[in-house]
Amino acid sequence: MDHLFEFLLRQGDNALVLGHRTSEWCGIAPALEEDIALTNTALDLIGQTQLWLGYAAEVEGKGRSTNDLAFLRDAYDFKNLLMLEVPNADFGRTLARQFFFDAFQVPWLDALQASTDTRVAEIAAKSLKEARYHLERSSATVIALGDGTEDSNRRLQAAVDYLWPYTGEVFEDDATDRAMAGSGVAPLPSDLRTQWENVVSDTMMAACLARPESQFAHKGGRTGVRHTEHLGHMLATMQVLQRSHPGAAW
């Protein structure tokens, strides 16, 4: 598979899968303000999906559209981080996951603005504005929950402990990452680990949360080699209309 195409799928699939997971809170969030905020975050991510997968379809050059890539691929064709596909479970896990993702996305998209690929740089510049807001909000909410009641701290700590083994996958460099770094399209994800850890550590300290010590990392989602059983169930819901009515359009 062409490395640029693989790279673009990873960006688009991350946004698509997290966008769908976040959209599942629409109408059932614990407060009206959170319901609106999470829905807007989901819409931002779906908008980013259209940009990344739209470019991926052009690079592939096989006549597939953005919708084809989003709705007509099976689970093991997806290249998203495993962390993004696990169920929401509760509000604490949803916000902890969003924060871990945002803390990487901001420096990542910032670096992509200097990409040698003009389209990548343009998409990154547009997405960065949204990612900065997402990080501002998710970090503030993590602090509010962590430094809130005994119950909110306990629930958020449980979410952090559950998600922590998934965060290491973000920084696992492979052949695609090295090819993109070699051509100046993107930095190596591992180059941004220190920035991510600094933001995460500062926020968790303010939130009265303990940083897990485990170094174990689940991996395989970015390469499509391994996904959780949850992705298939999620895609069944997300793709049912397009698969039931091929070519349907609004």
User: The CATH number of the domain where 68 resides is what?
Assistant: 1.20.1260.10
175 falls within a domain = yes
Rounded Cα gap, residues 164 and 211, in angstroms: 9
Quickly count: other Cβ atoms within 10 Å of residue 88's Cβ: 16
Question: Please, are residues 147 and 206 in contact by the beta-carbon 8 Å criterion?
Answer: yes
Amino acid 35: pLDDT: 84
Predicted confidence at residue 4, as pLDDT, reads 98
Does a structural domain hold residue 250? Answer: no
Beta-carbon contacts of residue 227 (< 8 Å; ≥ 6 apart): 75, 76, 78, 82, 85, 220, 221
Quick one: which of 185, 208, 170, 187 has its CA closest to 82?
Answer: 170
Is there a domain that residue 157 lies in?
Answer: yes
Tell whether 249 is covered by a domain: no
Task: Please tell me the pTM assigned to this model.
Answer: 0.95
Alpha carbons 202 and 10: distance in angstroms, whole number: 28
pLDDT at 29 (0 to 100):
81
The alpha-carbon radius of gyration of the chain (Å, integer) is 18
In a domain, 53, yes or no: yes
Instruction: Say how many domains are in the chain.
Output: 1
* Residue 40 located in a structural domain: yes
| Predicted local confidence at residue 113, as pLDDT | 98
Residue 134 CB burial class (10 angstroms; 0-12, 13-18, ≥19): buried
Per-residue pLDDT, 247: 79
The one-digit pLDDT tens for each residue of the chain (250 residues) are 599 999 999 999 999 999 999 999 999 888 888 889 999 999 999 999 999 999 999 999 999 999 999 999 999 999 999 999 999 999 999 999 999 999 999 999 999 999 999 999 999 999 999 999 999 999 999 999 999 999 999 999 999 999 999 999 999 999 999 999 999 999 999 999 999 999 999 999 999 999 998 889 999 999 999 999 999 999 999 999 888 888 777 6
| Largest pairwise CA distance in the chain | 54
Range of the domain at 142: 3-244
Give me the pLDDT at residue 1, please.
57
Tell me, yes or no, whether 112 lies in a domain. Answer: yes
81 within domain boundaries: yes
